[in-house]
Chain A
Amino acid sequence: MISPMKKFRESEIYKSIFRHKYDDTQRNRALQIVDNVFLHLHPVRIPRHATNIGFTWGMGGITFLLFLILTLTGVILMFYYRPTAQYAYEDMKYLMNDVAFGPFVRNMHRWAAHAMVITVMLHMFRVFLTGSYKPPREFNWVIGVLLLVLTFLLSFTGYLLPWDQLSIWAVTVGTNMARATPLIGHEGPFGPELGMRIDNDIRFLLLGGTQVGPPTLLRFYVGHCIFLPLIAAIFMVVHFWRIRKDGGISGPDTTKKTF
């Protein structure tokens, strides 16, 4: 008897979707990668050590996966959340108490965010320890540092959105530093001399006011949901592109024998 699955794999519909046969040949394995818009991020063949979880710890990949999970759960949260001081907290309460799977989605968003900060730091640790920032990957490390900063900023802006005591005070402490920025903060070195006041310095620009208030919530919301994810996504695209252009995952140079 021919199995239905096998029949499907030989059907016109299957071929119209995947554009190649399924049977296990070198050629089909290669086509599986290059014919698929998502998988063709990969090369077709890579050195064996690059698939070794002991080498990369999978940390960059996990960071990217967490970013995708955060995007998905974040969009769901946006359906229930209004970024105004009047509604934000109430919406969170509603989400946690009355929305089906509301707590699950919010928890997942929050824990994935914590996890992403951890995995990005571990990824960087790994890249350092394998010396993978060395030529020709210098610039991808620089892109990486930008991604690290963006990850922190994404997490930080998101922290404000529940609009509870934890949020506003953590963000108050975090943004208080800005008032001490040299030259452009009203309490920073040479700030007052340059005409900086509490209502015109860099912190004022960041918060949209002299303290963390409703305008801050809106600013952080737009930053968190649109601006920062967009920038982070663009840099991730560059990061991945560069990995390919720099010759794939780093490994010992077996021709020059620099080890």
Chain B
Amino acid sequence: MKYFLEIITKPDNIPIVGLLFLVVFYTWFAFKKARKNDSQEIPDEAKLDDKIQVWPYLVRVEFLGTLIVFAILAVWSITIDAPLEQAADPSLTPNPSKAPWYFLGLQELLVYFDPWIAGVMLPSIIIIGLMAIPYIDVNPKGNGYYTFKDRKFAILTYYFGFLILWIALIILGTFLRGPGWNFFLPWEFWDTHKVVVLNNIDLSELIGIPTKLPDNSLNIWATLFGFTFVTGFFGILGGWHYNKFKKTELFKLMGPIRYWTTSALFLGMGFVVLKMSLRLLPPIFGAYPIKYFWVTPWFNI
């Protein structure tokens, strides 16, 4: 526990402790408002739609907010010094080497994916996916007020992406990942010499298709299997849902481009979760963790 306290009170980590509390608070707060609105005919926001003057009713809120922000920052800056470690030394790699905290979710993904996916493709898809949200969400309801029941799918998806895949992974990366990016429980000492058995196998090997042939060249059957699995994941799940969905009113409203964009982004998120689960869960049941789904001469997924 001593070590854990040390880690959570590191000056650069304090904001993350704050972030955790803020996110939990605001999730609860927004959900409470949503439930209240959902239980009444007219949302609270609509009852407050009379016009008032910005001076003084808004300016005073902004002024107070400014004072509070300044007060918090001043106290914070007086009591806690920004870290300044030893001078930069390119020949002395610290262990663990961590990116700034807001990128630790992505750094965590490096455990499960090769860098070109975790570090380049996924961030790009996240940014593009976020930008696409207003254009693929055709639900006219839930605009300008807190609600849950009017847009369950949108809100649950966002909760999952933001709270689990972004915030929880940041917390994990900051507080529970130690030397060698190994996992440590809060009360464990961050041992640099911790030995972790690397017994990962590829998915094809799970069903008896070796990835490498005896002469160490790539097994074409493993590549074909991987290709089938990955395209199958998107093809079968995507096709299955499309078949179920294509006759609905909502599909007509969305049209094919919006539908397939949403489908691809959603399945992409599911794929990340599947890849993570197949690495993390098997050891719990005494099975081998899965490394790659699909191995090719140029890239591995």
Query: Which residue numbers of A lie inside 8 Å of B, CB to CB?
Result: 26, 29-30, 32-33, 39, 42-55, 57-58, 61-62, 65-66, 69, 85, 89, 92-93, 96, 103-104, 106-112, 114-115, 117-118, 121-122, 125-126, 128-135, 137-139, 141-142, 145, 148-149, 152, 155-156, 159, 162-170, 172-174, 176-182, 185, 187-190, 193, 211-213, 250-254, 258-259
Contacts and interface: CB of A to CB of B under 8 A. Distances in A.
Given A258-B143, A259-B150, A111 B83 contact: no
5 closest A-B pairs by beta carbon, nearest first, are A177-B119, A138-B134, A180-B115, A107-B77, A49-B48
Nearest to B137: A134
Interface in B36-94: 42-46, 48-59, 61-62, 65-66, 69, 73-74, 76-78, 80-90, 92-94
A193 B87 CA distance: 38
B286 interface: no
A49 B145 CA distance: 10
Most chain A CB inside 10 Å of its own CB: which residue of B56, B140, B154: B140
Contact of A176 (B74, B115, B155): B115
B257 interface: no
A252 B45 contact: yes
A179 B114 CA distance: 12
Contact of A164 (B88, B107, B115): B88
Contacts of A181: 116, 120
Interface of B: 12, 15, 18-19, 22-23, 26, 29-30, 33-34, 42-46, 48-59, 61-62, 65-66, 69, 73-74, 76-78, 80-90, 92-94, 97-100, 102-103, 106-107, 114-116, 118-121, 127, 130-131, 133-135, 137, 139-147, 150-151, 154-155, 158, 162, 166, 298-299
B97 A47 contact: no
Contacts of B85: 164-166
Contact of B33 (A54, A89, A182): A54
B120 to A, nearest CB: 5
9 contacts: A45-B52, A47-B51, A130-B144, A133-B137, A134-B140, A164-B83, A170-B100, A177-B115, A213-B90
Contacts of A62: 65, 69
Contacts of A121: 19, 162, 166
Given A134-B144, A156-B103, A178-B120, 13 more contacts: A46-B51, A62-B65, A128-B158, A134-B139, A138-B134, A145-B130, A148-B130, A166-B85, A170-B97, A213-B90, A258-B143, A259-B43, A259-B46
Contacts of A51: 52, 57-58, 61
A107 B76 contact: yes
A170 B30 contact: no
B243 to A, nearest CB: 29
A129 B78 contact: no
Contacts of B87: 89, 163-165
B134 A108 contact: no
B59 A39 contact: yes
A69 B103 contact: no
A86 B98 CA distance: 24
Contacts of A58: 61-62, 65
Given A190-B298, A213-B90, A66 B114 contact: no
Contacts of B86: 164-165
Nearest to B107: A173
Contact of B100 (A112, A148, A174): A174
Most chain A CB inside 10 Å of its own CB: which residue of B23, B130, B166: B130
A259 B86 CA distance: 57
Given A29-B56, A177-B119, A212-B90, A162 B84 contact: yes
A173 to B, nearest CB: 5
Given A129-B34, A165-B94, A251 B46 contact: yes
B66 A130 contact: no
A180 B65 contact: no
B69 A65 contact: yes
A190 B120 CA distance: 14
A69 to B, nearest CB: 7
Contacts of A118: 15, 18-19, 22
A58 B146 CA distance: 15
A117 B65 CA distance: 18
